[in-house]
A and B are shown apart, each in its own frame.
Chain A
Amino acid sequence: MPDAAAPLLSVENLKVHFAIRSGVFQRQVGEVKAVDGVSFSIGSGETLGLVGESGCGKSTTGLALMGLVKATEGHIAMQGAEDVTQMRSIPRSYRRRMQIIFQDPFSSLNPRQKVRDIIRAPLDIHGIGTVEKRRTEVAKLMSLVGLRPDQADNFPHQFSGGQRQRIGIARALALRPDIIVCDEPVSALDVSVQAQILNLLADLQKELGLSYLFISHDLGVVEHVSHRVAVMYLGKIVETGSKEAIFTNPLHPYSELLLRSAPAHDPRKRHKFSAVSDDIPSATRKPLGCAFHTRCPLATDICRQAEPQLELKADGQSVACHHR
């Protein structure tokens, strides 16, 4: 069961800003606020689904947690450890506890390495176990994720997309982390294989008590895997709450729009989708006030001027909207 009382990971006011440089001297001419003040926590054994459309900053959030892009501001703290954002480099003791699975199982595995070496790399880097122990550990990890250990000497190209994603999962599990950041882990896979990987992730969570930050644009997938959900729009979390709350009673107009836009899987429940295009801004030209006001049916003057803050409404459901 998710333990909300003592979060395993808490993130506060995380910001990742990128400089836009131009000209011969690469002077900074602007800034992209990819992640702009994001706070959330994840309990032990819990899955937080982070959902949003392209460019909303969900992947950058995941990369910042892993220390793969540098956070501009904010606090990231793991239970029983210090705030890592204040340090010059992220300590290995932190990295050991958080690992990542990437979207593309083709580019995230070194094509020149044998599967054995790919999965073993984290153990080597952290100096865990003897050489013999690492060998048996690789075999164990491979069977854990549903690969045949006798394929350990094969190269990534000898595996299908789904199997490659399993290799990525085995590598992420090697250090027995507490949390895995899953960055669109099934988006590149065919539907039938996608279900295999989602089932595997669910099994591993049950078996090992893992927590997931599950980043995805696919509402069906997020609803299936998550305990709690956070909806992101242009660098901010606009709504967060339990899966049930978000999917049955969304409060933010953007969450509503997302749910309304998902195709029905029943020809009798067809939508009457409007063909009208709306004014979709991007992170480089973010509107003032509430970033969603250009597309929002509820927008009034206050939305164009003041940015709404995330406020607790009911039952752990928070929303950033002047009208809700």
Chain B
Amino acid sequence: MQDRAMEKTMEPALAVSDLNVEILGENGAFPVVSEMSLSVRPGETVCIVGESGCGKSMTALSLLRLLPDSARVASGSIRIHGEDFLAMDRRQVENLRGDKIAMIFQEPLSALNPVLTIGEQIAESVRQHRRLGRREAFARAVKCLELVQMPDPERRARQYPHELSGGMRQRAMIALALACEPKIIIADEPTTALDVTVQAQILGLISDLQKRLGTAQILITHDLGVVAEIADRVIVMYAGRRVEECSVYELFDNPIHPYTIGLMGAVPHRDRTEAAPERLTDIPGTVPPLWDLPKGCAFAPRCPGASARCLEERPPFIEKKPGHFAACWEHDNA
């Protein structure tokens, strides 16, 4: 295992700066991710949290250059171990993807190939990046399945995705992602499709593996419970932008942005300290459509503390206190 203290000073495994992603719609392009910056160091887990349409999945896809044809990176940079990922040609990207950086998807049934056995799929990925024979690659696949604590890995490697339960499929996908020992893993809602008891196992597995392998992890989720369990640092997104970023402890102790505060009050959960309130604090209204964002702060129309300035001018994303960033005008006044 690597030294934790050393990791802190290491250069980031992945650094994104000022990334803008847009969707090319019928009536011109509109932004889905704006001014996104983030960095992850080896051994660190950064969670990106937000509701549907906030741009979290688009961010994830752009990090692997897997954006759909209708979307493109308009500007910004993505550096993987210092190398400019966006400047690479197709072959370079394919060499890197699956080898240095890998992705775990939400729905393993649609992300796995239905006509190949689990073992064949993992072996295929290994052979793409390593000079191994078929037999060796398959043996490596079984090893990977062992690593993710798949019960009876020899037999499972010879089975097809549909023969496995949801939890085992997710284990298979994690094994596939880990096959070449990537330094960076992007996981998009890896436990959302799972039952709560299986989710607990997969969260346990993800954090065990990270401790052992020291990977840099970006985990996309809408679930603050998952964030509390697994994150080191958290980025909260709303309508395509970061609204808050800090350590997981700071986020739960002293959230700054009214949207973050609203989200926390809106979730009924078992760790509420106050006597269970009869009403949840809901956030009125809905998320604005990305092609028709309000002029000022995108959250202002739903914000209980919005002032005239919030409706007119977009607040900058700045450091409010050491290590705690947010985009809110009113916090400075409070």
Q: Is residue B318 within 8 Å, beta carbon to beta carbon, of the partner chain?
A: no
Q: Is residue B248 within 8 Å, beta carbon to beta carbon, of the partner chain?
A: yes
Partner of B208, one of A54, A202, A275: A275
Q: Is residue B281 within 8 Å, beta carbon to beta carbon, of the partner chain?
A: yes
Q: Is residue B52 within 8 Å, beta carbon to beta carbon, of the partner chain?
A: yes
Q: Are B252 and A275 in contact (CB under 8 A)?
A: no
What sequence of 0s and 1s flags, for each residue 208-220 of chain A, a beta carbon within 8 Å of any chain B beta carbon?
0000000001011
Instruction: Pick from B197, B265, B276, B284 the residue with the most CB of A within 10 Å.
Output: B197
What sequence of 0s and 1s flags, for each residue 45-87 of chain B, a beta carbon within 8 Å of any chain A beta carbon?
0000001100000000000000000000000000000000000
Instruction: Tell me the A255-269 residues at the B interface (CB within 8 Å).
Output: 257-269
What sequence of 0s and 1s flags, for each residue 207-235 of chain B, a beta carbon within 8 Å of any chain A beta carbon?
11000000000000011111011010000
What sequence of 0s and 1s flags, for each residue 177-204 of chain B, a beta carbon within 8 Å of any chain A beta carbon?
0000000000000000001111111111
Q: Is residue B11 within 8 Å, beta carbon to beta carbon, of the partner chain?
A: no
Task: Give the shortest distance, in Å, between B28 (CB) and chain A (any CB).
Answer: 23
Instruction: Pick from A53, A223, A262, A275 the residue with the most CB of B within 10 Å.
Output: A275
Q: Is residue A195 within 8 Å, beta carbon to beta carbon, of the partner chain?
A: yes
Q: Are A191 and B225 in contact (CB under 8 A)?
A: no
Chain B residues whose C-beta falls within 8 Å of the C-beta of A260 in the assembled complex: 200
Partner of B226, one of A219, A263, A276: A263
Q: Are A277 and B168 in contact (CB under 8 A)?
A: yes
Q: Are A191 and B222 in contact (CB under 8 A)?
A: yes
Chain A residues whose C-beta falls within 8 Å of the C-beta of B287 in the assembled complex: 190
Q: Are B199 and A261 in contact (CB under 8 A)?
A: yes
Task: Give the shortest distance, in Å, between B13 (CB) and chain A (any CB).
Answer: 22
Q: Is residue B270 within 8 Å, beta carbon to beta carbon, of the partner chain?
A: yes
Q: Is residue B136 within 8 Å, beta carbon to beta carbon, of the partner chain?
A: no
A interface majority secondary structure: helix
Q: Is residue A41 within 8 Å, beta carbon to beta carbon, of the partner chain?
A: no
Docked CA distance A193–B302 (Å):
12
Q: Is residue B92 within 8 Å, beta carbon to beta carbon, of the partner chain?
A: no
Docked CA distance A173–B241 (Å):
39
Q: Are B226 and A190 in contact (CB under 8 A)?
A: no
Closest A residue to B49 by beta carbon equals A191
Docked CA distance A272–B196 (Å):
15
The interface size of chain A toward B, counting residues with CB under 8 Å, comes to 48
What sequence of 0s and 1s flags, for each residue 34-53 of chain A, a beta carbon within 8 Å of any chain B beta carbon?
00000000000000000001
Instruction: Tell me the A188-237 residues at the B interface (CB within 8 Å).
Output: 190-196, 198-199, 202, 217, 219-221, 223-225
Chain B residues whose C-beta falls within 8 Å of the C-beta of A264 in the assembled complex: 225, 228-229, 270-271
Q: Is residue A274 within 8 Å, beta carbon to beta carbon, of the partner chain?
A: yes
Q: Are A220 and B280 in contact (CB under 8 A)?
A: no
Instruction: Pick from A190, A191, A224, A266 the residue with the most CB of B within 10 Å.
Output: A191
Chain A residues whose C-beta falls within 8 Å of the C-beta of B270 in the assembled complex: 219-220, 223, 247, 259, 262, 264-265
Q: Are B267 and A261 in contact (CB under 8 A)?
A: no
Instruction: Tell me the B132-169 residues at the A interface (CB within 8 Å).
Output: 149-151, 165, 167-168
Closest A residue to B226 by beta carbon equals A263
Q: Are A265 and B271 in contact (CB under 8 A)?
A: yes
The interface size of chain B toward A, counting residues with CB under 8 Å, comes to 54
Q: Are A221 and B268 in contact (CB under 8 A)?
A: yes
Chain A residues whose C-beta falls within 8 Å of the C-beta of B149 in the assembled complex: 275-277
Q: Are A192 and B228 in contact (CB under 8 A)?
A: no
Chain A residues whose C-beta falls within 8 Å of the C-beta of B283 in the assembled complex: 192-193, 195-196
Q: Are A53 and B195 in contact (CB under 8 A)?
A: yes
Q: Are A261 and B280 in contact (CB under 8 A)?
A: no
Q: Are B150 and A265 in contact (CB under 8 A)?
A: no
Q: Is residue B291 within 8 Å, beta carbon to beta carbon, of the partner chain?
A: no
Q: Is residue B286 within 8 Å, beta carbon to beta carbon, of the partner chain?
A: yes
Chain A residues whose C-beta falls within 8 Å of the C-beta of B202 in the assembled complex: 275
Task: Give the shortest distance, in Å, between B315 (CB) and chain A (any CB).
Answer: 20
Docked CA distance A195–B279 (Å):
8
Partner of A263, one of B165, B168, B229: B229
Docked CA distance A260–B286 (Å):
33
Q: Is residue B301 within 8 Å, beta carbon to beta carbon, of the partner chain?
A: no
Task: Give the shortest distance, in Å, between B2 (CB) and chain A (any CB).
Answer: 20
Q: Is residue B282 within 8 Å, beta carbon to beta carbon, of the partner chain?
A: yes
Q: Are B204 and A275 in contact (CB under 8 A)?
A: yes
Docked CA distance A225–B224 (Å):
20
Question: Contacts A223-B270, A224-B276 hold; do A263 and B225 have CB atoms under 8 A apart?
Answer: yes
Task: Give the shortest distance, in Å, between B325 (CB) and chain A (any CB).
Answer: 18
Chain B residues whose C-beta falls within 8 Å of the C-beta of A276 in the assembled complex: 149, 201
Chain A residues whose C-beta falls within 8 Å of the C-beta of B208 in the assembled complex: 275
Q: Are A265 and B279 in contact (CB under 8 A)?
A: no
Q: Are A193 and B226 in contact (CB under 8 A)?
A: no
Q: Is residue A249 within 8 Å, beta carbon to beta carbon, of the partner chain?
A: no
Chain A residues whose C-beta falls within 8 Å of the C-beta of B199 in the assembled complex: 261, 263
Chain A residues whose C-beta falls within 8 Å of the C-beta of B294 in the assembled complex: none
Docked CA distance A223–B283 (Å):
21
What sequence of 0s and 1s flags, for each residue 149-171 of chain A, a beta carbon within 8 Å of any chain B beta carbon?
00000000000101100000000
- Chosen A-B contacts, 20 in total, with CB atoms closer than 8 Å, are A53-B195, A54-B195, A191-B51, A196-B282, A196-B283, A199-B280, A202-B278, A217-B196, A223-B268, A260-B200, A261-B196, A261-B199, A262-B196, A263-B223, A267-B231, A273-B207, A275-B208, A277-B167, A280-B198, A282-B165
Q: Which 9 A-B pairs have the closest CB atoms?
A: A263-B225, A273-B204, A224-B268, A275-B205, A195-B282, A195-B266, A192-B283, A261-B200, A195-B280
B interface with A by C-beta (< 8 Å):
51-52, 149-151, 165, 167-168, 171, 195-205, 207-208, 222-226, 228-229, 231, 248-249, 252, 262-272, 276, 278-284, 286-287
